[in-house]
Amino acid sequence: MKNKLLSMLLAWALAALNTAQAAAPQLVPLRQESQAAYLSAEILSRYHYRHVPIDAALSAQVFDNYLKALDSEKLFFLQADLDRYADARTKLGDAILGEDVSIPFAIFNLYQQRVSERIDYARSLLKKGFDFKANESYPLSRKDAPWPKSADELNDLWRKRVKNEWLRLKLAGKDDAAIVATLDKRYQTALNSQSKIKSDDAFQAFMNAYAMTLDPHTNYFGVRASEEFDISMKLSLFGIGAVLTEKDEYTMIRELVAGGPAALSGQLKPGDRIVGVAQGEQGAMVDIVGWRLDDAVGLIRGPEDTAVTLDILPAEAGADGKHKIISLVRKKISLDKLAARKSIIEVKDGAGARRIGVITLPEFYLDVAARQRGDKDYRSASRDVARLLEELKKEKVDGVLMDLRNDGGGSLTEAVDLTGLFIDQGPVVQQRDAKGNVRVERDTHPGVAWDGPLGVLINRGSASASEIFAAAIQDYGRGVLIGEQSFGKGTVQTVVNLDEIAKNGKPTFGELKMTIAEFFRVNGGSTQLRGVTPDVGLPSITDVSEFGESSFDNALPWTQMAPADYARAGDLSGIVPLLNASHEKRIKRDREFQYLQEDIAEFEKLRRKNLISLNEADRRKDREAREAREKAREATGNEADRAAAKARNKALQDDGMLASERNLSAELALEKRSKGAKDILLTEAAHVVSDEVGLLKATSGLRHAQAH
């Protein structure tokens, strides 16, 4: 998937300039970074699934990827900037092997300079104002546009960009003084964040540009990024149990984790600002005002059962308000929001109702270290889902729906074990390495956890382990797939600890997540590039040219191999046409579904046009038409329909603000409304599973293993 590791860096300067002193520092590579680059190249060139030599061609691709990572919308660099480094374009590979990454750092420093220039220019425009009667427009996306050839061309582009931001706020009801104040603060915040960028940010950006040249799913993790990746797989960390955010140079508590030290203390609440941190109860207090959020978090986290003391400026206090000192003991914090969870949807069936159990799985997590040391309570996706299935059986559900939307994958082992909850032994996925060796991953556990009707809900964000599970369920005829074409990631990665290879005593070099094999369905096909095709399709707002494996220039091609030796658990082919017919009939009379399809059509129209008017009259006309349409929707249907439409419209209303610019209570309220909005795709998927229940009762089409 598009590299998450660059998102923190890009958020500081690109697009909306929405992050939280002075000019950016001139960065120089540290010795260990040059060494890490060399070590990474040695490993990737020898053991990556694609054997790509480190030559001029690869260097040119790395150069282009690096520029794309830094300036994907071509808003900062001029063509002349690229020409300045033309000679280096084919020599980056030699530089890496020579343990010299000074050129990538020089490019990054130039990028920082250009960002500062653009922000300074943007702020200067606020003193002049704009003519909103002029007929001009601004491109929504510039990724395919040429690099600006002159400063005048770039200035005009930024004039339109700032004009659009001003107009958004104006249409939302703000006056000119408030608009100037909001935008000036927005740009100052962006400048402040630049001064906090460190050498490891530049190095990580470059190394990912190199790693992702080999394939889209090979990544470099610096030391801190490695820690975050480990946390995401274990779903746990040692800390105080608070979700933190950065606002106005403060580290602010966004929410408290239930059962964590912060919540149990009763002394902290959302909106409180942490202005100092000390280790233990007697340690020296470190002022963290103005710190980067990840640095502040690193100071607050620590070993289990150790104390941390916080200097708190309460939410209701002004900048000069009274502080309070709070000491907490760090504990293991489970990230339950990212864990599997269940719910039940009741679907009307004549005079009665069918109960469809929904299990939502955000990712395929596994605490490998806990399992290796024999911890009987180690955390894993399949163990959590097995427990939830037992609970749903006690609640007498008629069918189960696995919701894997936006589940980007995780542990391959967990994909196999999760499949084993629904099939009675057999191959789940095939792997083929670079040498052509084939390995079949099997479910070896007898019996199943759920032998009833099953649905799997997927979308374009369902990738990797999600696709392995969904494909196996489809190939075995065990359940019906609902949704949209999945991501199309059919490759296997392993994580290589560079410090272990270098025999370092402490984390220094980071890690590589490296592609080592492709995986194939048990029917011999691949999910690579093509993804998994659902049996019952749902509408999608995703642009497949922008998101998914097919959007990458260097994605591996689709291939296939011989099928594995497996026995189908059932055959749903006879009822799939009936499920689709019932689905089509139902959505034609569903107002919410019709609204969704109208919105998708409107979005597609805007995306194809790729331009937004900067004429105030035109924009007001469009906004008024949209609001009239929303009001009409709020006035139709029953009370529940009207309430759902009103909640959705309020959540989607454009206030021209960035999330970081809203006060915390307003942002949390907006988030709550968005989460509380009716999930019509989930509801429809539950109806499809309900139909499956009825059809399977009426036929004997499903032959599957019975639970022992």
Which positions are annotated as active-site residues? 464, 475, 489
- Alpha-carbon distance values, 574 to 456, 492, 535, 699 (Å): 18, 34, 12, 10
SS3 of residue 199 by DSSP = helix
- Alpha-carbon distance values, 282 to 4, 289, 309, 311, 450 (Å): 38, 20, 8, 13, 54
In whole angstroms, what is the distance from residue 192 CA to residue 660 CA? 14
Name the amino acid, one letter, at 405: R
Q: Which residues contact 276 (CB under 8 A, 6 or more apart)?
A: 285, 286, 287, 288, 310, 311
Cβ atoms 136, 615 nearer than 8 A: yes
DSSP 8-state class, residue 322: P
In whole angstroms, what is the distance from residue 411 CA to residue 19 CA? 32
Cβ atoms 308, 279 nearer than 8 A: yes
> Treating both helix axes as pointing N-terminal to C-terminal, what angle do 639-652 and 616-634 enclose, rounded to 10 degrees?
160
Locus of tokens 């200035």: 155
Q: Which residues contact 283 (CB under 8 A, 6 or more apart)?
A: 309
Closest CA to 167 of 617, 688, 608, 495: 617
385: tokens are 């889902």
End-to-end, the C-alpha distance of the chain in Å comes to: 39
SS3 of residue 47 by DSSP = helix
100: tokens are 């010299």
SS3 of residue 617 by DSSP = helix
184: tokens are 């000036």
Q: Which residues contact 126 (CB under 8 A, 6 or more apart)?
A: 162, 180, 183, 184
Helix (H) or strand (E) holding 3: none
Cβ atoms 435, 380 nearer than 8 A: no
In whole angstroms, what is the distance from residue 669 CA to residue 118 CA? 33
In whole angstroms, what is the distance from residue 163 CA to residue 138 CA? 9
In whole angstroms, what is the distance from residue 611 CA to residue 141 CA? 8
Buried b or exposed e, range 196-207, using 16+ CB within 10 angstroms: bbeebbbbbbbb
Closest CA to 478 of 699, 697, 696, 698: 696
511: tokens are 């890690």
